[in-house]
Amino acid sequence: MTKSKPIAVVILAAGKGTRMKSKKPKVMHELLGLPMINWLLNTVEQLDPERVVVVVGKGMNDLIDTIKPHKYVIQNKQQGTGDALKAALPALKGFSGDVLVLLGDTPLIGVSTLRNLISTRNIDAVTGISVLGVKMQNPTGYGRLIMGRNNILKAIREEKDASAQEKQENIVNTGAFCLDSRRIERWLSNLNNKNAQGEYYITDIPELAALDKIKTRVVIASDVNEVMGCNTRIDLSKLEQAAQNKMREHFMMNGVIMQDPSSVYFHHDTQIGEGTLIEPNVYFSAGVKVGKNTHIKAFCHIDNTVIGDKTTIGPFARLRPGSEIGDDVRIGNFVEIKKSKIGDRSKISHLGYVGDCIMDSDVNFSCGAITVNYDGFQKHQTIIGKGVMVGSNVNLVAPVILDDGAFVAAGSTITTDVPADALSVERGRAEVRAGWAALYRKRKEKAKNNNKDKKKES
């Protein structure tokens, strides 16, 4: 095998997503909260390419912003993959080496597969192209790889142009190519659009190369999910599930325990520590980091939150953005935390709301207690010191400070600061009126009977 050469990557991403029924470019649709194009860019960056060029369509400004600092070129008219690659030629000027051509709507292709594609292109001096294929039991709708002897590709046929015999082939084109940069421009100039679509196909290049006695070799992808493309919302949902499964397997291989992995959903940036147990039906949104040996119970929704070690969350807990949960903390059922810091060993066991709060360690925040953080115009902060006991059904009306060791009696509505080690009780004075309930019921019954009599008279 000859020595590998510098790499340039061209990503074809000018698709409008018409079949997605969406106004945004196809490759801007998200998997695990990250646009498809970013999945592919993150992969190709691991190849340390000399340059990356993304082919976009007119008016795709959001896509252009997303791919920065990589270069882009505009395909003015969408006339096929060959035309798209031709649009990238000015950005490849002066480059000599291997040009990796990828489809932006095939986001899950792996770096090892791409390295194999590149090394196959460099297997000998007469191999100018390598193509990535995959075997499918039902290849309907895909272009077929028509194989010759010794793993040499004879041709690629789009299904609409394939003969009945060619349609029997089950090795399909994935759209990934590795090409010798020295010959690309000449091959592209010889393409024509005499086909069912009236487009210029990059898939015609292997036959042009054969006229120059240049071989095209095929690499077979081992996992069909890795080369799955996206044209519809149904395809997008399948890609989402494939990406979720990839994340689930990654975490389990690194010591995370999941009882029902298929019911746990991750964001692309989720971090989970070794030994953590995740029960069924848990959703991780953006920016979540969970420590080691923590227990996330069923039906929790966690968003932009950092959780420490040996902590228990849920079931049915909601952790909202800006929250920091310490070590050995207990957040119980039907508890909501928002933009708050919860200190080590503190407990918010059930039916509570904590918003815009700084809570120190060893606090007991009892059932039904809440921080009243919004006055209708602004949010205000509650500060709770070490070892504070907040009784059941307490309202802490912010801004308010409970100093270290303070006790707040159940049912209180606290509107003033509580000193250290003090007890605060803010309740209305109880009033008991003997016999009142019986008299009330009697009056109600009499009024009801009077109404009946009036109806009869009328």
Contact (CB, 8 A) for 34 and 268: yes
DSSP β-bridge partners for residue 359? 342, 384
Residue 125: half-sphere exposure toward Cβ, Cα within 13 Å: 0
Structure tokens at 302: 């966690």
- Quickly tell me which residue has 């009036």 as its tokens: 454
The catalytic residue among 29, 70, 267, 350 is 350
| Distances in whole angstroms, Cα of residue 215 to Cα of each of 3, 5, 323 | 18, 18, 58
Structure tokens at 251: 């975490």
Rounded to 5 degrees, φ, ψ at 90 are -60, -35
Q: Which of 139, 158, 134 minimizes the C-alpha distance to 207?
A: 158
What is the Cα–Cα distance from 60 to 14, expressed in whole angstroms? 8
Contact (CB, 8 A) for 383 and 377: no
What is the Cα–Cα distance from 306 to 110, expressed in whole angstroms? 29
Q: Which of 372, 362, 358, 351 minimizes the C-alpha distance to 327?
A: 362
- Quickly tell me which residue has 């069923």 as its tokens: 298
Q: Is 334 left (phi over 0), alpha (psi -120 to 50) or beta?
A: left
* DSSP character at residue 435: T
Q: Is 110 helix (H, G, I), strand (E, B) or coil?
A: coil
Q: Any catalytic annotation for residue 350? A: yes
Residue 381: half-sphere exposure toward Cβ, Cα within 13 Å: 8
DSSP β-bridge partners for residue 99? 8, 179
What amino acid positions are annotated as catalytic residues? 350
